[in-house]
Structure 1
Amino acid sequence: MPRFDDIYAEGFKDTPYWWEGAEPETNLDPLPEHADVVVVGSGYAGLNAATHMARAGRSVVVLDSDRLGSGCSTRSGGMVSSGQKLVVGGAIKGIDPALISRLIGESNESFDYLKTLIETENLDAGLKITGRFFGAHAKGDFETLKNHGALLSEKTGVSVHFLDRDRQREAIGSDYYNGGMLIDDYGGLHPGLYHKALRERAKAAGAILRSHARAGIITDGPNGKKVVPTARGTIHATHVIVATNGYTSADATPELARRLVPVKSYQIATEPLPPDLLAELIPLARMVSDTRRDLIFTRPSPDGTRLIFGSRPGIFEMSERQAAKRLYARMLAIWPQLAGVKLTHSWIGSVAMTVDKLAHIGERDGSHFAVGCNGNGVALMTYLGYQTARKILGEQNMPSAFDRKKFTAVPFYNGKPWFLPVFTGWYRFRDFLDRPGR
């Protein structure tokens, strides 16, 4: 890999770019001793569950082990879609067709729910539906994308277009890919602003939000109550909702942790770019990803000033500053015209992967849960938090399709993903074989 020793802008930060618009929140006020509902985790799922429960008249406390919003909800790329990963990502293989139809239907509904929520409650989230381009990494991937696009159009109703290599510059200012697929209906938002809006919405509904209150093992107490020990005191609650996703701890919810693999997501942000350069890189401010197993994802910032770029920087985990150099090299492979541009931010988040590549809601470890975004959580976790609250309140006409008893644990795994370097190395090797010399 080339050496990049002068890529850091003055004032370079190892925190998310999104925090410039909305920092995570600290609240060290005392914890109540009792609540109807304790929500562990202050991400999109937890806050939406808390708001719905509070609006139904329940007393609700939301806990986070760090600052409120310091997890992956404000560390993601902020891309939003419907059933793309579900339909073409292999998650529906071997599943009953009737259940497949319901899963796809709810995935589509999650996207509609997100858009409706932001619009009807006037949330400042920076949501824009600009489309998304999927680049064909290897030559054979273009035909694969055609098959995937036909399936997506049939199952989810999205508008799909295909651009061969001669036309791909209509969607991306690069000759790196072998054509690609363009979906008009997808888009992106500002994760930090969206999370801040959800925090304010939850507080307005009457929910109590507390930071730096790491939860421990949940146990049964007297009178059917749950006992939730935390780093700042103990709360007795009627219901507990765990929505910790990629930050699920074996120390607090061991059975849940055995079913979730936290995978690091690394991202960088460039310094402000000339508007004509950014328009050349990604016309019409679309979202971009590709067909690699070890994929990249990239987009313009919502204010149209800089490029956000994400990927796995290597086989092993590394610091934000180390990762920045490797991501910079991957970025330049796609856009050589960015050589010399400096980086202002580099950050890391953890997403939760599951064996079946599906999100899950249900009950385990003495609590309800909504987890398993599989890297596609902005709309889906928003929706599943809401559905978990509706389940507790008895508002559902039928269980969610994501509420299934079967939730497979990872073999020989206790919450520490020792096997990830092996899988990452294998994915990178397969990507290399698929694209020899190009």
Structure 2
Amino acid sequence: MSAALFTDDFKAAPYWWETGAPADFSKTLLPSEADVVVVGAGYTGLNAALQTARAGLSTLVLDAEAAGWGCSTRNGGQVSTSVKPSLSTLQKRHGSTIARALLEEGQASLDYMHALVRDEQLDCDFRETGRFHGAHLPHLYDTMAAECETGHKVWNTGAYMVPKAEMDRELATDAYHGGMVFPHHCSIDVGKYHPALLNKVVKAGAIVKSHCPVVSLERLASGFRVLTKCGAMKAGKVILATNGYSGPLSPDHQRRIIPIGSYVIATEELDQALVDRLFPTDRILSDTRKLVYYYRLSPDRKRLLFGGRVSLNETDPAKSAIRLHQDMTALFPELKRARISHSWMGFVGYTFDTLAHCGEDKGLFHAMGYCGSGVGMASYLGMRMGRKAAGLETEPSAFEQITFPTRPLYTGNPWFLAPSVLVFRLRDRFGI
């Protein structure tokens, strides 16, 4: 592959930044104290801050980079019910009551997104487009069909099957052996959602300071001493909202979060007739691979945004773009000549049990570990932790009632990632 694969104005930056670049609040003065300090200005942190600020608590949101620099403006703009394990798996781990509660909160996260966008009048192109989930091997279609016929025991998914003979109504590709449609899953314009939410937080009275890494947290007799590279201050409560960018600030959380790079490309603007034939719907798209592809059209239906995990170790987005383009054209050969205008990556916060987690330890709150489904769940759990910090909610989330696991010798460096990717590639080949 040569440089001809990239447009002349190629950017190793998110496509979403064309309409909503991360905001610079570096000139904000650091206050001497705040009732609540939120570490991280992504979806988790902003939804938390919206609750505490509106409850009348002085709220400071800190970010090591520009506000929204992390995965909140690097994701694929897909919104689902956000819980990966099945009911049976969760029942074996946690019992029937907690298992059902976890899945119910997955639905609640999607419902919250509808309510948030509606009630706050956020201009972010949030739409119920549905998701098409393709079967990359024949027997996986049969497995999905059996699950679809049985129905979900907690969620009212409304899901239905699309056999291979009828694929042209969903996608013009021979790569899938049919698939399942989840009609209630949604898409969102990432470049609009984060800035719109940030604007609401600022209007609510919260102070936002960017380019201000938090160096350490020290417990005091009452509250915390928060040391940043911009100075020190006192906080009554602290909310950790760092997810895939969690570092040594809280070693206890760092050793429970696995940062995994997820890579995305955007094509140049495509011929509209080709777009309409290949993608007759506006659905968000994924498939049955363990190393999943996730993709969608841009909100204006002019480009394809195509993402996935394509390397054993973290790599340069310009290099990952080549592999993603190959994978994209394996699904859609007619896009072989489509050049790449943007390529980027972001760190997903994964967990050992593939579940999100939240909770409190004597005034130190956290919500993180969304496992690649963070738009809705980060927003929802951020809201819940904000309400809890503000004293507005005492009922614990189901995600607070489960153990947040780690592994012996793991301190935050995922040394096992490369062999795990190799195993997943093997499993994808045989569909196991």
TM-score in terms of structure 1 length? 0.95
* 2:343 paired residue number: 346
Shift of 1:420: 0.3
Shift of 1:391: 1.6
Residues of 1 paired with 2:361 and 2:88: CA distance?
26
In the alignment, structure 1 residue 261 sits paired with structure 2 residue 258: yes
TM-score in terms of structure 2 length? 0.96
Relative to structure 2, which stretch is displaced further, 28-37 or 274-283?
Answer: 274-283
Shift of 1:315: 1.4
Residues of 1 paired with 2:132 and 2:402: CA distance?
36
Which of 327, 330, 339 is residue 330 of structure 1 equivalent to?
327
* 1:313 paired residue number: 310
Q: Secondary structure at the match of 1:263?
A: strand
Shift of 1:152: 5.7
Q: Secondary structure at the match of 1:65?
A: coil
Shift of 1:396: 2.4
Which of 357, 360, 363 is residue 363 of structure 1 equivalent to?
360
* 1:426 paired residue number: 423
* 2:75 paired residue number: 76
Alignment of 1:52-201 (within 5 A): 52-83=51-82, 85-87=84-86, 93-150=92-149, 153-201=152-200
Q: How many residues align?
A: 431
Which of 380, 383, 394 is residue 391 of structure 2 equivalent to?
394
Shift of 1:89: 10
Task: Please tell me whether the aligned partners of residues 136 and 179 of structure 1 are also in contact (alpha carbons under 8 angstroms).
Answer: yes
Relative to structure 2, which stretch is displaced further, 165-174 or 43-52?
Answer: 165-174
How has the CA–CA distance of structure 1 residues 93 and 323 changed in structure 2, closer, same or farther, with 3 Å as cutoff?
Answer: farther
Please list the CA deviations of residues 147-185 of structure 1 after superposition, one character each: whole Å capped at 9, or x if unmatched.
Answer: 443566442101111111111221111010111101111
Gap regions ≥5 residues in structure 2: none
Q: Percent sequence identity over matched residues?
A: 38
RMSD value, Cα: 1.7
Task: Please tell me whether the aligned partners of residues 82 and 373 of structure 2 are also in contact (alpha carbons under 8 angstroms).
Answer: no
Task: Please tell me whether the aligned partners of residues 9 and 342 of structure 1 are also in contact (alpha carbons under 8 angstroms).
Answer: yes
Shift of 1:86: 4.1
Q: Secondary structure at the match of 1:266?
A: strand
Shift of 1:203: 0.2
Residues of 2 paired with 1:319 and 1:152: CA distance?
42
How has the CA–CA distance of structure 1 residues 133 and 121 changed in structure 2, closer, same or farther, with 3 Å as cutoff?
Answer: same
Residues of 1 paired with 2:367 and 2:431: CA distance?
36
Residues of 1 paired with 2:83 and 2:241: CA distance?
23
Residues of 2 paired with 1:132 and 1:17: CA distance?
21
Residues of 2 paired with 1:262 and 1:342: CA distance?
29
How has the CA–CA distance of structure 1 residues 299 and 203 changed in structure 2, closer, same or farther, with 3 Å as cutoff?
Answer: same
Please list the CA deviations of residues 2-54 of structure 1 after superposition, one character each: whole Å capped at 9, or x if unmatched.
Answer: x3542100110000000001000111222101000000001101001001100
How has the CA–CA distance of structure 1 residues 355 and 213 changed in structure 2, closer, same or farther, with 3 Å as cutoff?
Answer: same
The residue type equivalent to 2:286 in the other structure is S
* 2:231 paired residue number: 233
How has the CA–CA distance of structure 1 residues 405 and 220 changed in structure 2, closer, same or farther, with 3 Å as cutoff?
Answer: farther
Please list the CA deviations of residues 107-140 of structure 1 after superposition, one character each: whole Å capped at 9, or x if unmatched.
Answer: 1111111111101111011111111100001111
Gap regions ≥5 residues in structure 1: none
Task: Please tell me whether the aligned partners of residues 228 and 236 of structure 1 are also in contact (alpha carbons under 8 angstroms).
Answer: yes
Shift of 1:394: 2.8
Residues of 2 paired with 1:243 and 1:182: CA distance?
32
Q: Secondary structure at the match of 2:355?
A: coil
Alignment of 1:209-248 (within 5 A): 209-222=208-221, 224-248=222-246
Please list the CA deviations of residues 57-89 of structure 1 after superposition, one character each: whole Å capped at 9, or x if unmatched.
Answer: 000000000110000011000100115624379
